Amino acid sequence: MDVSQYMGMFLEESMDNLQTLNEALLDLEQEPNNIDKLNQIFRVAHTIKGMAATMGFNNIAELTHKMEDILSEFREGKLKVTRDVVTVLFDCLDTLEKMVSNVEDGNEEEIEISSVIKALERAAQIEESEISENEDLNEVSYLEQEDLIINLNEYDISVVKQAKNNGYNGVNIQISLREDTLLKSARAFLIVQELEAQGEIIKSFPATEDIENEQFDTELFFVVVTKKTKEEIKTLVSNISEVKDVKTSYVILNDNYESDSIKDIDLEEKNIIENEQLNSKEIISQDKKKETSVNNKRAHQSVRVDLQRIDKLMNMVSELVIYRTRLEQIVIDDKSQELIETLEQVERTTSDLQDLVMKIRMLPLEVVFNRFPRMIRDLSVELKKEINFVIEGSETELDRTVIDEIGEPLIHLLRNAADHGIESKEERIAKGKDPVGTIKLVAYQEGTKALIKVSDDGAGINLQKVKNKAEKIGISTEGLSDNDIRNLIFAQGFSTNTVVTDISGRGVGMDVVKTKISSLGGSVDVISEEGKGSTFIIKLPLTLQIIQALLVKVGDETLAISLGFIDRVIDYKEENVKKTNGEEVIIYRGNVIPLIRLNERLGIENKESKKKFIIIVKVGEKTVGLLVDSLFGQQEIVIKPLGKTLKSLKEYIGATILGNGLVTLILDVAALI
């Protein structure tokens, strides 16, 4: 069976499911008696196993099957949820993630799973054969549908018996596939996905393993708990390709059932099933998402698009913006009223198209943030510290190019907070602090910027240590404010940690953070109070493709400066320029602001002009004045990369094409400061 066409779906779904397992296991560790969470973990693990078996990745299926053994022990009360057992399960998830990554990269290297399997077996303390026997003993009841008997164990019966008050329907589903269906297992997988999106599959016939291995003819039977009616379920399943026929009926469970059988079942009458152990929150949230849709053709309301296609669309829109700007220049020169009206319509359409493409490219920070709770949990175990991790604002959206790059700096900051920031339990108690340290990751949007804050209530930054280290590596701290001294930790090779560990102390973390964020057109600053904690503030542009910029003249060169950095523009007056510590500054509204003459900094020949301007820019907590010769006004520009030849020019983030066809460089204000 050729399943290569489903490879993309398998990889994407597997990574999503593994992340879901990571999050759910963290929750289960905090709430060991949460049956809802345990059921969710069991379902997701079973889905991963089924998908892997269908695609022929037997190692992944085998490892996940061993995970299910442990989860069965949890569910039956034979094994307690402890930190040690959860750690073994996390090791299992890490191994699964490596295996899926190898599949994605085309790496055929075999990952040794025997040690992980042995660890799982030791944790479960039960042989697979014993589990199978237990499962056989539990098959004590059944539901009938025409000539079909679906066995239900005691757990399933409790699900069926207790679900009534929440208003869920129990639906029997009989599905007939077309006789000429080539990939029956893959088609069954899509059917199972659709049913799981609508509720909970209580039982299936043939068994899930047989479906995964394509050991069935053309008939499939399911018992599902759902908010949908049997008619709605029938319509949804019928919309799936290669489904020949669908029959649905409500499940009737006699209230006077005995523990070893279910009697007098009438499948043509409606009854409602409820389960207090069912993850109702999950299903209800799925229902809320679906309420926005009027019809039932959910599968046709969204499509997966390759990211390269979206990038190509964005580039085409960028080109459109460039030509629109050139048209504006032509209209100004031509002064044709008819052209002006046509151009206004083009501008409106282009702007709407641009906004739409921007929104398509935006992703919530959640896709980055969701990996951090597990990381902090592992760090707290490794460092023997108790850490409470709080995430706020994960719904904040950023351009996917920014999302792709922001993960690495945040990992450095969070590891630094756990290692350097949070003190040991004993130290915190001695200082009168809560024994449990807190690390916060907060994100929100502010104008055209996204702000991300990483804060901790730990020891804070020791100024004297930073000064001593700075002097040692040849950095003078004379005349620097306390805030400037704190920001020295971003210098290359700077680390106050005297012990090199796997977590931090090699002097590369903060340098990497600064470099990466600057390359994204953003800034990073630190605020800290010794003994109370530190906060790192990252400011990032919402998008890196099209920005509003101020065009300026420096000598004979035209340059662009992003409006996101500009605070205000003032007239240049020679008498306002002073010197302090050999550096030029200006006095503006009682504030001393460093002055940068752009022609000197960029090596551009100076041209005398009657009137010059100072552009006051802010990067994080720093404010600087940039001296320019003249202003050309505000314009929407498209950022184009400089390419390999000019990549070494650190003062520029890219270039743009103006309306007159000239190429103009875009200043990297953060790098200048």
Tokens 């009027």 belong to 294
Which of 538, 466, 523 shows the shortest CA–CA distance to 671?
A: 523
d(CA 562, CA 278): 52
Catalytic residue among 22, 29, 65, 68: 68
d(CA 86, CA 34): 14
- 322, 289 in Cβ contact below 8 A? no
Which residues fall within 8 angstroms of residue 616, CB to CB, at 6 or more apart?
566, 567, 568, 569, 570, 588, 593, 623, 624, 625, 626
Q: Judge whether 46 counts as a catalytic residue.
A: yes
Q: How many CB atoms lie within 10 A of CB 343?
A: 18
d(CA 642, CA 253): 70
Number of H helices, E strands in the chain: 22, 24
Which of 21, 112, 23 shows the shortest CA–CA distance to 70?
A: 21
As given in the structure block, the two tokens for residue 223 are 């018992």
d(CA 643, CA 648): 10
As given in the structure block, the two tokens for residue 558 are 């035209």
* Distant-in-sequence contacts of 110-119, Cβ < 8 A, 24+ apart: 110/59, 111/59, 113/59, 113/62, 113/63, 116/63, 116/66, 116/91, 116/92, 117/62, 117/63, 117/66, 119/88, 119/91, 119/92
Which of 635, 659, 624 shows the shortest CA–CA distance to 548?
A: 635
d(CA 50, CA 251): 26
User: Which residue type sits at 134?
Assistant: N
Residue 458, SS3 per DSSP? coil
Give, as one character, the DSSP assignment of residue 111. P
- H runs (alpha helix) in 112-217: 114-124, 128-138, 154-162, 184-198, 208-212
> How would you label 288-297 residue by residue, b for 16+ Cβ within 10 Å and e otherwise?
eeeeeeeebe
Give, as one character, the DSSP assignment of residue 272. B
Give, as one character, the DSSP assignment of residue 584. E
d(CA 99, CA 117): 14
d(CA 61, CA 479): 63
H-helix or E-strand containing 47?
A: helix 35-55
- 626, 672 in Cβ contact below 8 A? yes
Catalytic residue among 296, 416, 420, 487: 416
Which of 410, 375, 158, 193 shows the shortest CA–CA distance to 276?
A: 158
As given in the structure block, the two tokens for residue 327 are 């048209």
Q: Judge whether 420 counts as a catalytic residue.
A: no
Residue 260, SS3 per DSSP? coil
d(CA 145, CA 250): 10
CA distances from 553 to 474, 560, 564, 667 (A): 37, 9, 19, 12
Pairing of the two strands 148-153 and 243-250: unpaired
Q: Judge whether 416 counts as a catalytic residue.
A: yes
Q: What does residue 166 show for φ and ψ, rounded to 5 degrees?
A: -85, -5
Catalytic residue among 13, 34, 46, 347: 46
Active site residues: 46, 68, 416
